[in-house]
Amino acid sequence: MAGKPTPDAVLPEITLPRLGGGEITLGKPLEGRDWQMVVVYRGKHCPICHKYVSGLEPLLSKYHEAGIDVVLVSGDPEEKARAFVDETGTSAPVAYDLSVPQMLELGLYVSDPRSPQETDRPFAEPAVFVINDKGTVHIADISNAPFSRPDLEGLLSGLKFIRDNDYPIRGTKMAA
One-letter-per-residue 3-state SS of 109-149? CEECCCCCCCCCCCEECCEEEEECCCCEEEEEEECCCCCCC
Residue 125 counted as domain residue: yes
- Reference 41, options 88, 101, 105, 8; nearest CA is 88
pTM: 0.95
For 102-150, the pLDDT digits (tens) are: 999 999 999 998 888 888 899 999 999 999 999 999 999 999 999 999 9
For 70-92, the pLDDT digits (tens) are: 999 999 999 999 999 999 999 99
Helices 47-56 & 78-88 angle (0-180, nearest 10): 60
**Do 138 and 162 form a contact (C-beta atoms < 8 A)?**
yes
SS3 39: strand
Residue 61 counted as domain residue: yes
Residue percentage of the chain with pLDDT more than 70: 97
Structural domain total, the chain: 1
Q: Does position 1 have pLDDT exceeding 70, yes or no?
A: no
Residue 4 counted as domain residue: no
